[in-house]
Structure 1
């Protein structure tokens, strides 16, 4: 529809009110379609740039299933310029808001998600987990096994987000670190 609307041309109206409304509608649709095409091109350029930056500095982050350039960049931003300041993967998990917080009552021990931390990093980890649940056989097997153990979907997602945070932390810390940007 966008391509069709972008091809609408200017047609001279003969003065009929109905034609004038149609012509104005066609002009508005053409301008909107052209703007959509322009923005889509800019998005593609920015995605290409972002992918290049992540590949240049931390290419090992793009290897695991589910970690794309957007999520990798978000997590790298959360880590900051100096990932060595994070002493452990637990500190990174807390920074992302995926560290477990105990909320037990009586004899039962339960954990919930940490509501603190960087919400964008938390959302990036959620996207990674959702992607893995869809495409990664190991993650689906883990999910099925935990469901059979009586865990809820929310509890399983919390555990998977923590595993993803651990994996990202270890990939970044084991890497050579960011190189100088020219």
Structure 2
């Protein structure tokens, strides 16, 4: 499940210009839906639904088992946020973490020597 956002990034993670672009691709970019006196956001319904589902599962697991996330949920609930608003924030945070890990892996891959030579397929 956690590998799905990485699969969404694809073989060319360089096309993701920013963390916001990755969040939009995963369907967790906030979109304003304000009306009247209330200032609200919802998540983008576009993007890769499988990646969004994976992030949703990550958030649900963290809400049940991770102490830091449980403290965050309690604090935001005390501030008056609804559960779906809290989950929206947590999904965006999870997407941010996945993006950072992906970019670190890409930069490590670029700096390490290549394990497979370019002419590997020709030799086989």
* Interval of TM-score (by shorter of Structure 1 and Structure 2): 0.7 to 0.9
CA-to-aligned-CA distance 1:112-154 (integer Å, 9 cap, x gap) = 1111000000000001001111111110000000000000000
RMSD: 1.8
Q: Which has the higher contact order (CA 8 A, sep 6+)?
A: 2
What is the TM-score with the length of structure 1 in the denominator? 0.58
Q: Aligned to 1:113, which of 27, 43, 46?
A: 43
Between the aligned partners of 1:159 and 1:113, the Cα distance in structure 2 is 9
Whole-angstrom distance in 1 between the partners of 2:68 and 2:60: 13
Structure 1 counterpart of 2:2: 71
CA distance in 2, matches of 1:92, 1:82: 12
Q: CA deviation at 1:180?
A: 6.5
Question: Secondary structure of the residue that 1:71 maps to in structure 2?
Answer: coil
Structure 2 CA distance for partners of 1:119 and 1:177, relative to 1, 3 Å: farther
Give the Cα separation in 2 of the matches to 1:174 and 1:109: 35
Gap regions ≥5 residues in structure 1:
1-69
Secondary structure of 1:150's counterpart equals: coil
Any stretches of 5+ residues in structure 2 without a counterpart? none
Between the aligned partners of 1:75 and 1:123, the Cα distance in structure 2 is 9
Corresponding position: 1:144 with 2:64:
no
Alignment match, 2:62 = 132
Instruction: Provide runs of 4+ in structure 1 moved above 3 Å.
Output: 177-182
How many aligned positions are there? Answer: 112
